[in-house]
Each structure stands twice: as structure tokens, then as C-alpha cells.
């Protein structure tokens, strides 16, 4: 059901790889709510992913960009403004990748070059996106910029490894740039801390099935789906959230406030 929440708004959506991606659902909901936007992903993901199908469905153009490359980001913002016919109202950063996690490297044996890559792709890229937008004066007043995080920024989940550091940094960047962008352009910057979700990035974490099941049982409402996350994200692109900024917003069915739940007690009694 559409409410035209994003009617007349222009955006850039990073990170739609396939139909399971959270960004994929955000694009579909944003389209249904009346937005126009460009889609972007790393050139390599573009070859593997099904992003062209999504672009057709949404009437959106695809502009490849490695989010760690400032040159690519400059091209992305410049072309997006040309194609969309004006400055940008919303940006979704939905990007995460850790070579250490992907290659199953133990936390006590991290490859430090890979750690740098994890931080660059999954956190510093968020700063690069915002710095590029600021330098090109690409954001409209009262725009909204969102990134997706995970509760491993606050609590340890051993298999999440160095991605935990990336998420802590991502949330910190959202606060610092949020203060700056509010002052400069009344632009708000927030992160959404999402439940475990069955996507390529999610299932790349060791023991993900157990992890997913545990979180589902520890969340009184159950795990939030990618579609739930998309609906919440789109609300943050709408004018209904204009005064919310520099926040890490828990979108987790109650996981982060639960000590234990009946569902988990029942499970433990069975074991
Ligand atoms: N899936 C989960 O359990 C979960 C939970 C909380 C938060 N998140 C976060 O949600 C976001 C989206 O992940 P997802 O779960 O939809 O998985 P996904 O694998 O579909 O999306 C990750 C995206 O990052 C892109 N990417 C990787 N390197 C890039 C680069 N250098 N430049 C540009 N793009 C690049 C990938 O191509 C992919 O599209 C990530 O930040 C992830 O950490 C996921």
C-alpha cells in the first residue's frame, strides 16, 4: 500500500546485489512511495548481480561505483543529479564486506591488510559518500542519509570478527557527519541496526543459521525482515522524521532490550 511518502524526492541507493538484498527492497518500497533514484554498486557486483532487473522494474538508471573510490563517487553524484534533474534528497549506504570473514580467518589471526579493506569498504566509504556529497553541494536541504548497521557494534558476536569494528566506526561516522551536515544543510544522518537477515552479506558470517534462529527467539517480535527494514528506512527518507539525526536506530524486534525470552527458555529446556 503506497502513501506517496517520497513523492518528488530524488535518491541514490547503494548495495542492491540480488532480490534478497536489503537495498533491493528499499528500492522497491521507495519506488512505490513515489521516489526517483539511481542505483549503484561496485563494478564487480554489477556483473554478478541481477541489478539490471531491479533497474528496469524501478525505471532507474545504474551508475557503477566502488564506494571506496572518491573519483567513482564524484561521478556517481554528478551523474545522478543530471539524470534525476536536481539535488539529492536521500542516500542509502547498504554496503558491507570483510575479507577476513569471507575467507574464514580467525579473529586471533587477522590479516591486517584485509582489516583495512573491511574498514574502508564497510565504514570509511560512508564518510567518503558524505564528504563527496558535501563538496559537490549535492544534497538538498532537509535531506536524509542512512546506513545499515548491526548490534555487533555494541556487543560481541565472535563470528562477526572485524566487521564489528567496521560497524562501530560506521555508527561513529554517522554521529560526527550528522552534526556537520545538520549545521550545513539541515541534512540528517542515521544508522539502522537491523536483525540478522538472510542475504549474501548475512549468510557469509559463520554459523549464520544458528545466529539467525537465536536472534529470532530472543526478539519478542521475531527477527525483522529485509522488507520491514525497507519500510523503516523509507520512513527515514520521508518528511515524518525530519528532526531525527545522529542516531543508531534499533530495528530488531526487541532483541536489544531482551534479557531472555520465553521462546529461548523453551528451546533451552528442550536441549
Ligand atoms: N544481512 C544481515 O544479517 C545484516 C544485518 C544487519 C546489517 N546488515 C547490513 O546491511 C547492509 C546490506 O547488506 P545485505 O544484508 O543486504 O547484503 P548484500 O550482500 O545483499 O549487500 C551488501 C552489498 O555491499 C556491496 N559492496 C561490497 N563492496 C562494495 C564496494 N567496494 N563498493 C560498493 N558496494 C560494495 C555488495 O556488492 C552488496 O550489494 C550491509 O551494511 C550489512 O552489513 C546486514
Is pLDDT at 89 greater than 80 in this prediction? yes
Mean pLDDT of the chain: 96
177 noted as active-site residue:
no
Cα-to-chain-centroid distance, residue 262: 31
Q: How far is the centre of ligand 1, averaged over its atoms, from the C-alpha of 16 (Å)? A: 8
User: With b meaning 16 or more CB within 10 Å and e meaning fewer, what string describes 163-190?
Assistant: bbbbbebbbbbbbebbeebeeebebbbb
Is pLDDT at 1 greater than 80 in this prediction? no
Q: Which of 73, 202, 204 to mutate to test the pocket of ligand 1 (most atoms within 8 A of CB)?
A: 202
Q: Report the Cα–Cα distance between both ends of the chain, in Å, rounded.
A: 42
pLDDT at 48: 67
C-alpha cell at 203: 549468510
- The tens digit of pLDDT for each residue in 160-211 reads 999 999 999 999 999 999 999 999 999 999 999 999 999 988 888 878 888 8
Q: Confirm whether residue 85 is marked as ligand binding.
A: no
- The tens digit of pLDDT for each residue in 124-162 reads 999 999 999 999 999 999 999 999 999 999 999 989 999
C-alpha cell at 216: 529470532
Please, what are the domains in the chain? Answer: 10-270 (3.40.50.720)
C-alpha cell at 103: 575467507
- The tens digit of pLDDT for each residue in 109-130 reads 999 999 999 999 999 999 999 9
Residues enclosing ligand 1, CB less than 6 A?
A: 14-15, 17, 21-23, 41-42, 45, 66-68, 94-97, 121, 148-150, 194, 196-197, 199-202
pLDDT at 207: 84
Reported as type and span, the H/E element at residue 270 is helix 262-270
- The tens digit of pLDDT for each residue in 36-81 reads 999 999 998 877 669 999 999 999 999 999 999 999 999 999 999 9
Amino acid at each position: 500500500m503506497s502513501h506517496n511518502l517520497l513523492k518528488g524526492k530524488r535518491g541514490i541507493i547503494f548495495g542492491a546485489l540480488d532480490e534478497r538484498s536489503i537495498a533491493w527492497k528499499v528500492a522497491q518500497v521507495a519506488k512505490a512511495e513515489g521516489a526517483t533514484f539511481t542505483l549503484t554498486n561496485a563494478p564487480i557486483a554489477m556483473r554478478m548481480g541481477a541489478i539490471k532487473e531491479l533497474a528496469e522494474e524501478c525505471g532507474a538508471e545504474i551508475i557503477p561505483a566502488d564506494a571506496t573510490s572518491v573519483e567513482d563517487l564524484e561521478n556517481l553524484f554528478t551523474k545522478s543529479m543530471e539524470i534525476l534533474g536536481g539535488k539529492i534528497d536521500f542516500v542509502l549506504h547498504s554496503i558491507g564486506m570483510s575479507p577476513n570473514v569471507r575467507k574464514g580467518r580467525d579473529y586471533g589471526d587477522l590479516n591486517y591488510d584485509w582489516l583495512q579493506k573491511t574498514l574502508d569498504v564497510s565504514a570509511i566509504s560512508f564518510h567518503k559518500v558524505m564528504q563527496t556529497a558535501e563538496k559537490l553541494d549535492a544534497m538538498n536541504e532537509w535531506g536524509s542519509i542512512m546506513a545499515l548497521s548491526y548490534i555487533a557494534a555494541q556487543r560481541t558476536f565472535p563470528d562477526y570478527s572485524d566487521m564489528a569494528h567496521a560497524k562501530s566506526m560506521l555508527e561513529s561516522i554517522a554521529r560526527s557527519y550528522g552534526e556537520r551536515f545538520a549545521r550545513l544543510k539541515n541534512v540528517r544522518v542515521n544508522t539502522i541496526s537491523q536483525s540478522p537477515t538472510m542475504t549474501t552479506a548475512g549468510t557469509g558470517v559463520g554459523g549464520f543459521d544458528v545466529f539467525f534462529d537465536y536472534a529470532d527467539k530472543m526478539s519478542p517480535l521475531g527477527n525483522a525482515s529485509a522488507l520491514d527494514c525497507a519500510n523503516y528506512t523509507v520512513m527515514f527518507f520521508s518528511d515524518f522524521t525530519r528532526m531525527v539525526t545522529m542516531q543508531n536506530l534499533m530495528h530488531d524486534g526487541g532483541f536489544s532490550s531482551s534479557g531472555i525470552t520465553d521462546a529461548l527458555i523453551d528451546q533451552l529446556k528442550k536441549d
